[in-house]
Amino acid sequence: MDEPGREDSVNVLEDTSGMFLDIEDLAQHLDVPQKVGKNEFRLLIELPSEKLIFACGLPFVQVNGQLHQMPFALKPKESGFYAPIESVIELIAEYYPGDLHYDPTRRRVLASHPTTDILGVRYVHTPDNLLAIITAGKQLHCESDKLTESEIVLFFPDGSIDTSGFNQVINPSGIRGIFAEQTRKGAQITLNIDERLTFEQFEILSDPPVYIVTFRQEYDIEMNVENNVINKLKEEQSQWDFDVVVIDPGHGGKDPGAVGATKLLEKTVVLDVALMLRDFLEDKGIQTIMTRDKDVFIPLAERTKIANSSGGKLFVSLHCNATAGRRARGVETFFLSPSKNETAMRVAMKENDVIKYEDDQDQYQALNEETFILLSMTQANFIRESQDLAVVVQEKVSAGTKLKNRGVDQAEFYVLYGANMPSVLIELGFISNKTEEKKLKSKDFRKETAAQICNAVMAFLENSRENGL
């Protein structure tokens, strides 16, 4: 690897499928923080503006929650994480603040470190807020000041900034402009907003250095009318407590989901279980909403929109698990929160991969680990209730079906993001396991599964009423 005035070697691996670069070694040379996950399965690269997550044995990388396909799977070897050299350099270069590229003729990685402290700005939308996220190459002291209702100023004493890069940023609705200025005393960033935004708070995260300005989003008259209608509907729905359950059969249409050894399709199994669950719940007097009731493809984001707009109070997403091997077995229930282990991350990546069938994949760009953490802070009650629901679902379904109890876990499932209600995702069994695939084919097994999910929902509702939730 070449840098101006310096040349270092980077670990590479070459075989018949191509040349692979040790990503962890590259990150160390670029002075970029990296973190190896448990069991040395996952590598997190913390670039100034983005977090890249690589997983061994999987041919893609997660950036901002979006999966990027690579020509080959990541190769674990000793303590290194090896990826196709040209693909991974091209990917990292997109987010690295300095210059970075690969010269195949010289077989050299060429790099230069950024020359300024303040590196860039990006915007993240949450259901009610807009976040302006300023990234820096090192921790800087920052002074914030709200000059007027429409002007927010951040001043970094002794900081340096690339003013041309900042002043060319394309801003979202509500941001009139963002202006950067370099003075002898330091760097200054001014955010000008219009009436659609209201300044809410300023906070600093230290690892990596991030400066977040949070704005509450106001809506125009037309949107306010729509919100008033929605609020009125919510008031009318409130008398039902949690008695509106949204049932979400995963996959569908052009997306078959996982496929078993005998060609059993995940989309077929979960739709059948969902329809049975609907009948069981309605027999108990519970109103249900189906995100799909036939073999059609519904984008992930559209599923939670259906749930929210229909006054849903609980969201239950049904899936079947699968692995490359055939031995994994059992039932597992998830709720939305950043994944804490590699197994949960694998499951989420598998289910999130459905976005490859969607026309608009850019809408998932902002769903990175940071966004999920912010979501956890703003929806703490839903997450607690989601976890409670997941526990009772897991207990009932594993006991009733006699499948191995794999427990409750958490991960970043796109389909659960944005659901304004307690929500869970249930993996009903491993369709990749011949024994469990045979069970999943059985009408009696599907009926028992649906009955136990119904029992779990009813137990959760009863507990909620007793506790005044």
Q: Domain with 28 in it: what CATH number?
A: 3.30.457.10
Structural tokens at position 280? 């069981």
pLDDT score for 281: 95
When comparing pLDDT for 379 and 414, which is higher? 414
304 and 448 in a single domain? The answer is yes
For residues 40 and 342, what is the distance between their CA atoms, to the nearest angstrom? Answer: 9
Helix (H) or strand (E) run with residue 319 in it: strand 314-321
- Judged against a pLDDT cut of 70, whether residue 454 lies above it is answered with yes
Residues 268 and 176 in one domain: no
Q: What is the pLDDT of residue 15?
A: 75
For residue 235, which phi and psi values (nearest 5 degrees)? Answer: -65, -40
Amino acid 41: pLDDT = 64
The domain that contains 433 carries what CATH number?
3.40.630.40
pLDDT above 70 covers a percentage of the chain that reads 73
Residue 446 confidence class, pLDDT cut points 50, 70, 90 = very high
- CB crowding 64-95: b at 16 or more within 10 Å, else e: bbbbeebeebbbeeeebbbbbbebbbebbeeb
pLDDT tier, 378 (very low <50, low <70, confident <90, very high otherwise): very low
Question: Is 437 a residue whose pLDDT tops 90?
Answer: yes
User: pLDDT per residue over 240-279, tens digit each?
Assistant: 355 789 999 999 999 999 999 899 999 999 999 999 999 9
Instruction: Report the sign of the C-alpha dihedral through residues 75, 43, 379, 467, in that order.
Output: positive
What value does the mean pLDDT of the chain take?
Answer: 79
For the chain, report the end-to-end CA distance as a whole number of angstroms.
Answer: 59
Residue 389: predicted pLDDT: 94
For 170, the token pair is 């394309």
Which pLDDT score, from 0 to 100, does residue 232 have? 47
pLDDT at 153 over 90: yes
Q: Give a yes or no: residue 225 inside a domain.
A: no
**Domain match, 106 and 144 both:** no
Q: Is the model more confident about 115 or about 329?
A: 329
Are 26 and 168 members of one domain? no
What pLDDT does residue 223 have? 42
Full residue range of the structural domain in which residue 147 is found? 118-217
Q: Indicate the residue among 217, 245, 274 that finishes a domain.
A: 217
What is d(CA 166, CA 179) in angstroms, rounded to the nearest whole number? 7
The listed range with the strongest mean pLDDT (120-129, 298-307, 313-322, 367-376) is 313-322
Token pair listed for 118: 């303040």
**pLDDT higher for 149 or 279?**
279
Give the residue from 112, 138, 171 where a domain finishes: 112
Q: What is the pLDDT of residues 278-322, one digit of tens each?
A: 999 999 999 999 999 999 998 877 888 888 888 888 999 999 999
Asked which of 217, 244, 275 is the last residue of a domain, the reply is: 217
Kindly tell me if the per-residue pLDDT of 355 is higher than 50. Answer: yes
pLDDT digits (tens, 9 = 90+) for 193-205: 998 899 988 988 7
pLDDT digits (tens, 9 = 90+) for 88-108: 888 888 777 677 888 888 878
User: What pairs with residue 134 in β-bridges?
Assistant: 121, 211
Per the structure, the count of domains in the chain is 3
In the numeric block, which tokens belong to residue 105? Answer: 């003729």
Can you give the pTM of this predicted structure? 0.50
Mean pLDDT of the 209-223 span: 71
What pLDDT was estimated at residue 247? 96
pLDDT surpasses 50 at 226: no
244/175 same-domain check? no
Q: What is the pLDDT of residues 384-404, one digit of tens each?
A: 888 899 999 999 999 999 999
Would you say residue 24 lies in a domain? Answer: yes
Q: Are residues 83 and 136 in the same domain?
A: no
Residue-wise pLDDT tens digits, 54-81: 877 666 777 766 667 666 667 665 656 7
pLDDT of residue 366: 44
Res. 327 pLDDT band, cuts 50 70 90: confident
